[in-house]
Amino acid sequence: MTSRLALRAATIAIYGFLFVPLIVVMLLAFSASQFGGFPIEQWTLGWFGALFENDTILGAFRTSILFGLLTALISTTVGVLAALAMVHYDFPGKALVATVLLAPLLVPALLAGALFAFTISFDNITGTLFWKPGGIETVPTQIYAMLRDSVSPEVNALGTVMVVGTILIFVGGMSIMRVVFRGRRA
Amino acid sequence: MKMPRIGSGGPQTHKWLLTPAIVAIGLLLILPLAFITTLSLGLSSLDGSGEPGFGAWRAVLSDGFYGWFLVKTLFVAAVTTAIAALLGFPPAYLIATSRLRWKGLLLLLIILPFWVSYIIRTMSWINILGASGAINESLMALGLVSEPLPLLFNQGAVILGLVHFVLPFMILNIYVALDGLDHSLAEAARALGASPWQAFRRVVLPLSLPGLAAGSLISFLLAAGSYVTPTILGGPTDAMFSNLIYESVIIQLDWRTGAVLALILLAAFGTVTILFGRFFGLERIGRASL
């Protein structure tokens, strides 16, 4: 099956296109050279250390997490109420009882929705750049500001933390949901 | 015995649950839109200046500069969408026709970029294309070039970054349309004498059309509305229409012109969406993207 082989080769190349840049970011975060670049001659963890001593970046993280949590809380509340209304459109009465009874059933979906809202908010830059008052930075706008000159190893380290962090949050969230779901089926 | 009427009481008792969502949509979508409209007409302003009228609209519409920018932006978005469709098809088809175990992994890898920050995905290309980036360093180490090639800060880099950004949307949408498609369909077409191209053109492509349309619409709108990618990967002349809005509102504090520009871009997006709906049926697109 040559066409199938060609399809596989094309798919691998396209996946490579999607992921190689991110892998490069993570590799360069460990490069000792101030200017990044290849080949990487010396490896270091120093940029990560610098990150955790950088008050601006830590502040940006705090802002992002706060905004993310608020967004998740508000949008989940609004979303759940709307979803209940839509699902129960043909159901006679007893809204409050149904809400209370249904609440535990909603937990996995709720968690997924909240997680979704959190990451979307955490990552938002197009809106944030317009809305944020001067002096307040979220992680994406902070990275954006740091990019004005060039990509420093510190930005790559920050990027690595973000990538690993979001993936951990999602994998963690999904594992929790899987456990919850499995418990229900048993 | 009186039969309970289905729906009796339901709409009334549950209506209040929708209120927050309707209020949220009203406050976050309708109200700002109304505000922007009055702003553009000078009926409201932030500093009390300006007189009502179509002055800002006339100024923008009579200036060829803005029209040219709009055309350029839509063109960049169209090129991005076309490339993403071409690149998105092979993985989508492979995922849709592969066995269950591989399918999960391949799908997970396509969803993964959604979790990775947009700004990081965009700036990652600087490490690849920059003067001391992976490509230039490799080429120089191999002695193929003596000076770094100017790969970054041009239109091509912007389109590359946008394709990288929209590709997962495209792949997922095509995949959804093709999911469950029996790989033997194309094989049957081949066995009946169709060339590989004919089998693709006559069997696979028509089946994937709703997903392709949905993916293309999403990709086009995302690309046409972007303004961070051009500032990171583009040069000074590679700005897009949204950059003009940002420039007006944030840099020049000319909210009125910014409002006019935003409404023009919104109208352009609406037109594109309607055209897409005409050609492919918006309902089919909507169903595919779900």
Residue B35 carries which side chain, given as an amino acid letter? F
**Above 50 in pLDDT, residue B87?**
yes
Identify the CATH class of B57-117+153-289. mainly alpha
Residues in A touching B134 (Cβ below 8 Å) = 24, 38
Q: Give pLDDT, residue A182.
A: 67
B51 vs chain A: nearest CA distance in angstroms?
25
CB contact under 8 A, A93 and B9: yes
**Chain B contact for A175, CB < 8 A?**
no
Q: Is pLDDT larger for residue B76 or for residue B105?
A: B76
CA distance B283 to B31: 27
- Structural domain boundaries of chain B? 57-117+153-289
Tell me which of A2, A14, A77 to substitute to probe the interface with B (most B C-beta atoms closer than 10 Å). A14
The DSSP line for A51-109 is: HHH-HHHHHHHHHHHHHHHHHHHHHHHHHHHHHHHHHTTTS-S-HHHHHHHHHHHHHHH
**Chain B contact for A2, CB < 8 A?**
no
Identify the DSSP state of A31: B
CB contact under 8 A, A18 and B123: no
Q: Residue A54 domain-assigned?
A: yes
pLDDT tens-digit map of B172-221: 999 988 886 777 777 788 888 888 788 888 888 888 888 899 899 999 99
- 3-class SS letters over B26-90: HHHHHHHHHHHHHHHCCCCCCCCCCCCCCHHHHHHHCCHHHHHHHHHHHHHHHHHHHHHHHHHHH
CA distance B268 to B274: 10
**Above 50 in pLDDT, residue B2?**
no
Chain A / chain B CB contacts < 8 angstroms = 170
CA distance A7 to B200: 13
CB contact under 8 A, A151 and B126: yes
B239 with B44: CB under 8 angstroms? no
Q: Which of B8, B20, B112 sits opposite A77 (nearest CB)?
A: B20
Q: Is pLDDT larger for residue B78 or for residue A41?
A: B78
**Above 90 in pLDDT, residue B70?**
yes
B137 with B144: CB under 8 angstroms? no
Structural domain total, chain A: 1
CB contact under 8 A, B250 and A91: no
pLDDT tens-digit map of B3-56: 444 444 445 556 677 777 788 888 888 898 999 999 999 887 777 667 888 988
**Above 60 in pLDDT, residue A186?**
no
Q: What integer is the mean pLDDT of B56-69?
A: 93
CB contact under 8 A, B228 and A125: yes
Residues in B touching A119 (Cβ below 8 Å) = 115
Tell me which of A15, A20, A22 to substitute to probe the interface with B (most B C-beta atoms closer than 10 Å). A22
Minimal CA–CA distance to B160: which of B230, B213, B91, B90? B230
CB contact under 8 A, A93 and B17: no
B141 with A40: CB under 8 angstroms? no
Tell me which of B36, B126, B127 to substitute to probe the interface with A (most A C-beta atoms closer than 10 Å). B127
Residue A86 carries which side chain, given as an amino acid letter? M
Q: What integer is the mean pLDDT of A85-106?
A: 61
B104 with B183: CB under 8 angstroms? no
pLDDT tens-digit map of A132-175: 877 788 888 888 888 866 678 888 898 899 888 878 877 787 77
Q: Give pLDDT, residue A96.
A: 58
- Whole domain around residue A129: which residue ranges? 47-185
Q: Give pLDDT, residue B13.
A: 57
Most confident segment among A102-116, A118-132, A155-169, B238-252: B238-252
CB contact under 8 A, A167 and B196: no
Rg of chain B over CA atoms, in angstroms? 24
A117 vs chain B: nearest CA distance in angstroms?
12
**Chain B contact for A7, CB < 8 A?**
yes
Interface of A with B in 111-140 (CB under 8 A): 119, 122-123, 125-126, 129-130, 139-140
